[in-house]
Structure 1
Amino acid sequence: MKRLALLLILLTGTLGVPPALAQDAGADARRAAEDLEAASVLLDSAEDAADRVAALTDTIRAYEDGLAAMREGLRAAAIRETELTRKLQAQEQEISQLLGVLTAMSGRASPGALVHPQGPLGAARSGMLVAAVTPGLAQRAADLRADLEEVQALRKLQQNAAQRLAEGLQGVQQARTELSQAIADRTDLPQRFTEDPIRTAILISATETLQGFADGLSQIPAEEDQGGPPMPDIHALKGTLSLPVRGVVLRRAGDPDAAGVARPGIVLAARPGALVTTPTAATIRYNGPLLDYGLVTILEPSPDVLFVLAGLDVVYGQIGEVLPAGSPVGLMPAPTNASTESEGGGAGRSETLYIEVREGDAPDDPLLWFATDKG
């Protein structure tokens, strides 16, 4: 596909100028490009909606990784440009003096300049001194010239990267749209039970907290089991599960927020519009608006275990469906337009996902379940 090939070029090419600034980001970009190419092959060979969902999920993740690598490279370039600019400004007087010396040396000396106050011996000493200093001055001028050329290259890199980021964002947005359609077309997922909207509505109206809703939901049995696969014991995977979204931990369980409220879950900072997936096979127990948490998805990976994901902008799937591991369950809130997301290529994450794990009727620390750096 043309948009995939375009991103392959910009991922592997943009970060290579200058190569010393973005070596790690460039390696990440190349890996993302390889993943993107593999996803495009799967997408071209997809025979049904389920295959398209899997391929598009991989495509979006590859886009996100590639764009993150581009932003990191651009951030490194911006930092380097700032350092060089400050360095050059601080040495502005020295540069002027150096240019004056080089200009004088490059011209033809007048006869008077050859007369030294201390006579021929002083003139000889001065000549020897100038001869000794000249190579150092020339090297200093070459270093400064290299710094100026690097600043110019960095500015050109940043100008080109802004447009290419926008192109990449358009590509990932198209993939998100196609994913939504593929999920709507998917009909072959196992269905563990059918939602009882009346009972769910009563539960929502009777609870005032997320904890209360999750507790009440866990007490509603899936009475209309429709022959879905048996749910595994998730405890064997405890501590090894991938986070539902790529991000960093902002708050741990029990840490108070800005209002002084402590919650039993963790808060992740994620990129706007990032894809959220289920870390393991799970049944959708609820997805939709809830209290002031925005859109919420509650997954049941194992009997008496619930994963609560709150703060989504889009949710996928139907209540009662059994999702394979890595299936998309929603998207993080996105900016109103692509240019907003692309501004400040190295900008930090700006959206948050609240994750709560409940075992039985009690919360458990999510960092005990997910594989993170714990930092």
Structure 2
Amino acid sequence: MRRALLLLLLLAGPLAAQEAGTAEAAQAAAARLREAAALMDRAEGAQDRLAAFTATVKAYEDGLALMRDTLRRVAVERDRLQAELDAGSGEVARLLGVLQSMGQAPEPVLMLHPQGPLGTARAGMLIADVTPALQAEAEALKARLEALGAIERTQAEAEGTLREGLENVQEARAALAAAAADRTELPRAYTEDPVATALLMASTDSLDAFADGLGETVDQELAPSPVASGTGSLPLPVPGAVLRRPGEPDAAGVARPGLVIAAEPRALVTVPVAATLRFRGPLLDYGTVAILEPAPGTLFVVAGLAQVFGDAGEILPAGAPLGLMGGETPDAHAMLTGAVPAGASARTETLYLEVRDAEGPVDPGTWFRLD
């Protein structure tokens, strides 16, 4: 019993802090999702609907990531507390039995002892010494049970918010795609020659050859392209983690000169800096590709998207939506039952990012922040 008492006393202290931290995280996630819902309501009537829906989708993605991580934390804490209670169930039962027998025994019986008055006095001293420890152990047990109940209530509240957020983000992404398709106000650096583009795609078997021949796809120059410079501070096109850096081979042993970024399914991909969209569509074995030109002679090759917004020749501003990642957003049930892993392992889609100049591929770190 002394071992159980020490364990309970050591663990009872952090319970309130853990419960408070979980509740605060859930509140922050719910607040972010409420903010996204408010943005969604205002986006329909916004003058710049595309920008409004872009902000809405980002807010939903942030809120859902927070909510998913909060629910993972809730589940871990709930399972840990339940396992500790189950592991100590025998000692807890003995503790409850002692407390119950002490509470039910008549007072005259408690005062009697087979060894007479001296034994009674010694028993009383022992009870006086043990009772505070038993009380402390009982209070620690009560704190654990209350913490478990609070965690379960937090989970129930968060589940409803998560389900609603998942439904709303799908609607926001569809509205964003529709607004991007209706966009007509963007300036154009040139008009595209679709025949030349098709011939280039059919006649090239490498990204190098395709990039070198992009100049042939221009039908008419309309305006100068943006002029940006590499500062190493641009954000990545999609929130995620760098899986492989230039030259690092993948599982098949293939090494490429760009970055491989792990991202979440259906994540929004944005334009990192004002650039001309030079190409969009399927290319070689790279999947759906968008090629941006932030400065004359410099190209950002963004590959692995499921959907690209915009037309070749358009000048896209920094932060504009470029497209969406592929995959399927997990439903609430999959997230809540643990079928979808937490943290970085939930980023099941990959985006390839390569930076090129007239000489060929260059270090993406000269343009992008890779920390």
* TM-score > 0.5, shorter chain as reference: yes
Matches within 5 A, 1:97-108: 97-108=94-105
2:187 is the counterpart of 1:186 = no
Superposed CA deviations along residues 83-127 of structure 1, whole A, max 9, x for unmatched, are 212211221111111111111111124866644354422321221
Structure 1 residues 341 and 119, CA gap change in structure 2 (3 angstroms): closer
Compute the RMSD of aligned alpha carbons: 2.6
The whole-number CA distance in structure 1 between the counterparts of 2:365 and 2:119 is 77
One-letter amino acid matched to 1:359: D
Contact 2:225 2:315 (C-alpha < 8 Å) held by counterparts: no
The whole-number CA distance in structure 2 between the counterparts of 1:56 and 1:327 is 11
One-letter amino acid matched to 2:279: Y
The whole-number CA distance in structure 2 between the counterparts of 1:64 and 1:185 is 23
Matches within 5 A, 1:100-139: 100-109=97-106, 114-139=111-136
1:281 is matched with 274
Matches within 5 A, 1:179-258: 179-217=176-214, 219-220=215-216, 222=218, 224-227=220-223, 229-235=224-230, 238-258=231-251
Among 138, 144, 151, the residue aligned to 1:154 = 151
2:86 is matched with 89
Among 299, 302, 307, the residue aligned to 1:309 = 302
The whole-number CA distance in structure 2 between the counterparts of 1:291 and 1:303 is 24
1:14 is matched with none
1:340 CA displacement: 6.6
Most deviating of 27-36 and 189-198: 27-36
Query: Aligned pair count?
Result: 349
Q: Secondary structure at the match of 1:234?
A: coil
Superposed CA deviations along residues 290-328 of structure 1, whole A, max 9, x for unmatched, are 223221111111111111111111111001110111110
One-letter amino acid matched to 2:262: A
Q: Secondary structure at the match of 2:21?
A: helix
Structure 1 residues 27 and 268, CA gap change in structure 2 (3 angstroms): same
Q: For structure 1, which runs of at least 5 residues remain unmatched after alignment?
A: 1-16
One-letter amino acid matched to 1:364: V
Q: Secondary structure at the match of 2:277?
A: strand
Superposed CA deviations along residues 220-277 of structure 1, whole A, max 9, x for unmatched, are 47451113x5422323xx2111111111112222111111111111111112111100
2:46 is the counterpart of 1:46 = yes
Q: For structure 2, which runs of at least 5 residues remain unmatched after alignment?
A: 1-17
2:258 is the counterpart of 1:260 = no
1:336 CA displacement: 6.8
Contact 1:162 1:342 (C-alpha < 8 Å) held by counterparts: no
One-letter amino acid matched to 2:46: A
Most deviating of 87-96 and 280-289: 87-96
Most deviating of 303-312 and 191-200: 191-200
Q: Secondary structure at the match of 2:174?
A: helix
Superposed CA deviations along residues 120-157 of structure 1, whole A, max 9, x for unmatched, are 22321221121222122122122222212322332343
2:365 is matched with 367
Structure 1 residues 212 and 117, CA gap change in structure 2 (3 angstroms): farther
Most deviating of 196-205 and 291-300: 196-205
2:322 is matched with 329
The whole-number CA distance in structure 2 between the counterparts of 1:40 and 1:339 is 23
Q: Secondary structure at the match of 2:247?
A: coil
One-letter amino acid matched to 1:335: E
TM-score normalised per structure 1: 0.84
Q: Secondary structure at the match of 2:191?
A: coil
The whole-number CA distance in structure 1 between the counterparts of 2:134 and 2:252 is 60
One-letter amino acid matched to 2:220: E
The whole-number CA distance in structure 2 between the counterparts of 1:181 and 1:329 is 13
The whole-number CA distance in structure 1 between the counterparts of 2:272 and 2:38 is 24
2:322 is the counterpart of 1:358 = no
Superposed CA deviations along residues 330-373 of structure 1, whole A, max 9, x for unmatched, are 00113177447745476322211111111223212223322242
Contact 2:197 2:217 (C-alpha < 8 Å) held by counterparts: no
The whole-number CA distance in structure 2 between the counterparts of 1:24 and 1:212 is 50
2:170 is matched with 173
Q: Secondary structure at the match of 1:335?
A: coil
One-letter amino acid matched to 2:355: V
